[in-house]
Amino acid sequence: MIFSRNDGYPTDVGTASQLEDMLRHHGLRPTRQRLAVLAVLARERNDATAQGIYASLTRRGEHVGLATVYRTLAALNGCGVVDALMHNPGEVCYRLCGPGHHHHLVCDACHRVVELVDCDLDAWLAERAADHGFTVSGHTVEVSGTCADCRAIV
Amino acid sequence: MIFSRNDGYPTDVGTASQLEDMLRHHGLRPTRQRLAVLAVLARERNDATAQGIYASLTRRGEHVGLATVYRTLAALNGCGVVDALMHNPGEVCYRLCGPGHHHHLVCDACHRVVELVDCDLDAWLAERAADHGFTVSGHTVEVSGTCADCRAIV
DNA sequence: TTTAGTGCAAAAGTTTTGCATGGTC
DNA sequence: GACCATGCAAAACTTTTGCACTAAA
């Protein structure tokens, strides 16, 4: 799996030309700006806000308009390439994630994110929901905790 | 349990004097404004935004400043009296919930919320998290689906 | 050359804050 | 009287949008 990561470390997320192919595959033109946003996401072990990504780009001298960052993230989220996390009120965090069903384990201290890929809650939830007359269309689990690195510091 | 509800229906959430006691119990002065906000939350089977609560109060002729609504919700959330749900980007929803550990089953169509109280995920999550070096401090599950009423309409 | 994407600035929206006033203990 | 809570308006923020311009197909 070339475009997926399983923990937060900056693993191989594809060369520039592979990122281009991915964008094209989703009907998105591989522009300089989109590749730059993807590069920041690929380098980020934590989740990142639109504002934060914009700041990263500016810091590195890559000129990408803030509106473009927002539009790019919306497009990538629409394709399922990035996940949107809403643990903080008032802002959305984005993260380049694997394509399958998974949940997020987030470090309270450093915001590092790990994907939990094995989840078999469906049957259990469907049963509980049926007790209340609901049919289930989806679910998200967010687990908060402390990663090994941060625990070591304290 | 007098201040808890299990589904979204407007059940008995306490008389005015009981609400006063609850506020006092948390070190909050039982002002007209706070009781009014609580009354709106108690009457609401769905979750509600600060803006929506403000609108409800205004509609009923109760004059409570918008800043006061925000401050009241923050205080009640801090006490654990109301839960904050963040399913929509850019706004926080609040809901008067039971005091114990529970999760939320939310109707996609009408935003009705039901609390799921039996949850056994702790051991399973702790194990998965340990595989990645994390210790778990908490978790939230948000289940989306369609309630019986909304399914009937379609 | 046709269409999609970008930049900039303005606008929209939610939430927070400062400070004087009023209510509660 | 001391302290907490409120109201109002301004400010801070994130996010969206309009429109002329640029780049990709």
Q: What is the pLDDT along chain A (154 residues), one digit of tens a residue?
A: 334 444 433 344 567 778 999 999 999 999 999 999 999 999 988 899 999 999 999 999 999 999 999 999 999 999 999 999 998 888 999 999 988 999 999 998 888 999 999 888 999 999 999 999 999 999 999 999 999 999 998 6
Give me the CA A7–C1' D21 separation in Å, rounded.
41
CA–CA dist A26, A36 (Å, integer) = 17
> What is the separation of C-alpha B52 from the centre of its chain, rounded to a whole number of angstroms?
14
How much is the pLDDT for A111?
Answer: 87
Q: Give the DSSP per-residue string, A136-151.
A: EEEEEEEEEEE-HHHH
A147 to chain B: closest CA residue:
B134
CA–CA dist B78, A81 (Å, integer) = 35
B112 to chain A: closest CA residue:
A134
Q: Which residue has the tokens 């909050």?
A: B28
Q: How far is B29 from chain A (nearest CA, A)?
A: 26
Give me the CA B83–C1' C14 separation in Å, rounded.
18
**CA-wise closest residue to B73 among B83, B59, B60:** B83
Give me the CA A31–C1' C5 separation in Å, rounded.
8
Give me the CA B88–C1' D7 separation in Å, rounded.
29
- Using alpha carbons, list the distances in angstroms from residue A102 to A58, A146, B94, B111, B119: 32, 19, 26, 24, 19
- Per the rule left: phi > 0, alpha: psi between -120 and 50, beta: everything else, A80 is left
Please report residues of B whose CB lies closer than 8 A to that of A137. Answer: 108, 144-146
How much is the pLDDT for B3?
Answer: 40
* CB-CB under 8 Å, A84 with B86: no
CA–CA dist B151, B47 (Å, integer) = 19
SS3 assignment, position B56: helix
Q: Name the pTM for this structure.
A: 0.87
CB A121 within 8 A of CB B124: no
CA–CA dist B78, B68 (Å, integer) = 15
CB-proximal positions of chain D, under 7 Å:
4-10, 13-18, 23-25
* CB-CB under 8 Å, B114 with A135: no
Residue A134: φ, ψ to 5°: -95, 150
Whether the beta carbon of B33 falls within 7 A of nucleic chain D: the reply is: yes
CB B118 within 8 A of CB A130: no
B111 band by pLDDT with thresholds 50, 70 and 90: confident
CA–CA dist A12, A19 (Å, integer) = 11
Tell me which of B108, B132, B136 to substitute to probe the interface with A (most A C-beta atoms closer than 10 Å). B132
End-to-end distance of chain A based on CA atoms, in angstroms? 35
Whether the beta carbon of B133 falls within 7 A of nucleic chain D: the reply is: no
